Amino acid sequence: MARTKIKEVLQRDDSGYKVNVKGWVRSFRNNQFVALNDGSCMNNLQVVIDLENADENLLRNISVGASLSVHGTVVESQGKGQKVEVKAESVEVMGTCNNEEYPLQLKNRPSLEYLREIAHLRFRTNTFGAVFRVRHALAYAIHKFFNDRGFVYLHTPIVTASDAEGAGEMFRVTTLPFDNPPRNEDGSVNFKEDFFGRSTNLTVSGQLEAELGAMAFSEVYTFGPTFRAENSNTPRHLAEFWMIEPEVAFNDLTDNMDLAEEFIQYVIRYALEHNREDLEFLAQRLADEEKQKPQNERSEMGLIEKLEFVLNNKFERVTYTEAIDILLNSPAYKKKKFQYDVKWGIDMQSEHERYLVEKHFNKPVIVTDYPKEIKAFYMRQNDDGKTVAAMDILAPGIGEIVGGSQREERLEKLSQRMEEMHIPAEEMYWYLDTRRFGTVPHAGFGLGFERMVLFVTGMTNIRDVIPFPRTPKNADF
């Protein structure tokens, strides 16, 4: 008999049919009631063991964490909490689980910090089951969104030789012996002897290559891993994270903002429609966590409310210059509540971004037209000579979730900016070729996938929304 998923059994509204279900024991009460979970959904299926005819050995082997294959009949449940249950006719323990050793046997709810140490097992908790089902749904929705709009999914390289992007510190990729590498006469490492015949790194962004694709397919996107060796131990930074980067020919900055806004709303709506149970569980988890906080630090909205609010309200759009003025006129600034100073030209700190989003506007904010000094060389220069056509999207509780821009399509302006920023034009000939051969206005952005998952799940630490986080001094599992 083929296995039926627990989700399917729970969704059907009939009973009286025979099934085979398989999964892991979440609880075992009175030597009779097993809560079985196979990960297909949040809820467990109640399996009722025929106590009178049950073998003693079998009962001894059923324990939290053990894996079972159950044959039985789906019947209407007598008990509260579920419509149907399975009356077991035969139970096979596929793998026992020693409860003296099993860490999820703990009676108290384990902390998220502790679960990070046992990340190989944390998928089996309700919280991480929900988080990673939602993560999956968001990934699927992202592909669906772009596919439905005719974007081509472009796989940009993970190992790159270009180090011009300047998005972050890079990890070197090498096969040279690090204790005794081949050297040039001047003593520097001779990368000609290295695997690729030159110095290479893990990518920090697929954007430059995505631009090449956009110059042929008009609309492309990447969705892949990126790596930044930034030594910032924050709840919002990973050394290895996934990024989505659409790049669209003929789009200007406004089109770019419209696309980003539509995109974010689309994937949130998808999760609300397809992962309701998971999100309701996560909303309750967040509400419980909020209760631990002092009143004035609690957020006004619950998770579901917050997500619906984002769907139903346009994002606020302000220029960087307006944003700085808002900060300068804020009570927080006047009462010297900011740790970092505010003036035109600063790279806004997370405290400034959070003030704008959480205190001033109380909704997602798109900040545009940043000073060119704090942005990348490829961003399109505005006519004022001071700013570039950049846009960052800031989300409540997260800060920056998207960074994007209209790209500089004018060869002369681009070359001049590269020179100013000491970016070697010879090495970037392939990038500049797009401006030589049929250049067009174009724009794109990068969205950090884990920041999106944080936002939708209401989790507060980025280490809890990627299966196996890579952060400074940690690459376990």
Binding residues vs ligand ATP (CB under 6 A): 167-168, 228, 230, 237-238, 241, 243, 400-403, 446-448, 450-451
Residue 102: CB minimum distance to ligand ATP, A: 32
Would you state the structure tokens that stand for residue 62, as one six-digit string?
A: 């059923």
Closer by beta carbon to ligand ATP, 82 or else 349: 349
Helix axes 303-312, 276-291, angle to 10 degrees: 120
Closer by beta carbon to ligand ATP, 23 or else 399: 399
Would you state the structure tokens that stand for residue 377, as one six-digit string?
A: 């060389």
Closer by beta carbon to ligand ATP, 122 or else 237: 237
Give the distance, in angstroms, between the CA of residue 150 and the centroid of all CA atoms in the same chain.
Answer: 23
Residue 276: CB minimum distance to ligand ATP, A: 26
Residue 128: CB minimum distance to ligand ATP, A: 19
Residue 123: CB minimum distance to ligand ATP, A: 21
Residue 172: CB minimum distance to ligand ATP, A: 17
Residue 450: CB minimum distance to ligand ATP, A: 5
Rounded to 10 degrees, what is the CA torsion of 397, 280, 143, 44?
140
448: Cβ–Cβ under 8 A, 6 or more apart, which residues? 241, 242, 243, 401, 402
Residue 447: CB minimum distance to ligand ATP, A: 6
Closer by beta carbon to ligand ATP, 255 or else 400: 400
Closer by beta carbon to ligand ATP, 277 or else 400: 400
75: Cβ–Cβ under 8 A, 6 or more apart, which residues? 15, 16, 84, 85, 86, 87
Would you state the structure tokens that stand for residue 183, as one six-digit string?
A: 């050297």
Eight-class DSSP state of 450: H
In this structure, what are the phi and psi dihedrals at residue 80, rounded to the nearest 5 degrees? -80, 155
Closer by beta carbon to ligand ATP, 21 or else 238: 238
Residue 388 identity (one-letter amino acid): V
Closer by beta carbon to ligand ATP, 167 or else 432: 167
Give, for 282, the enclosing helix (H) or strand (E).
helix 276-291
Number of H helices, E strands in the chain: 14, 16
